[in-house]
Amino acid sequence: MPKKAEQPASFETSLQQLEQIVSRLESGELPLEEALNEFERGVQLARNGQQTLQQAEQRVRILLSDDKDADLSAFTPENS
């Protein structure tokens, strides 16, 4: 049976997970392999967070656009 696609965590949850990963890495107590796995997960979370922030910024720019006659339409990441 195919696996169900995981829903991405919210921005806030991802940020909290990233903070925990940073704390564990800074402790210096993780074995090398575990530290590398944590680092890899942290990079993924950071990239996803950056993408989420970029999309939010684009939405704000659309809403604050000086073009008063522009039609407001739903934002989709494909349009960014």
Nearest CA among 45, 41, 40 for reference residue 14: 45
Domain boundaries, the chain: 10-65
Rounded to 10 deg, the angle between the 32-63 and 11-27 helix axes is 150
Say what percent of the chain tops pLDDT 90: 60
Model-level pTM?
A: 0.69
Percent of the chain with pLDDT over 70: 72
| CATH number of this structure's domain 10-65 | 1.10.287.1040
For 19-43, write each residue's pLDDT tens digit: 999 999 999 999 999 999 999 999 9
Q: Using CA atoms of 60, 77, 71, 68 in order, give the dihedral in degrees to the nearest 10.
A: 30
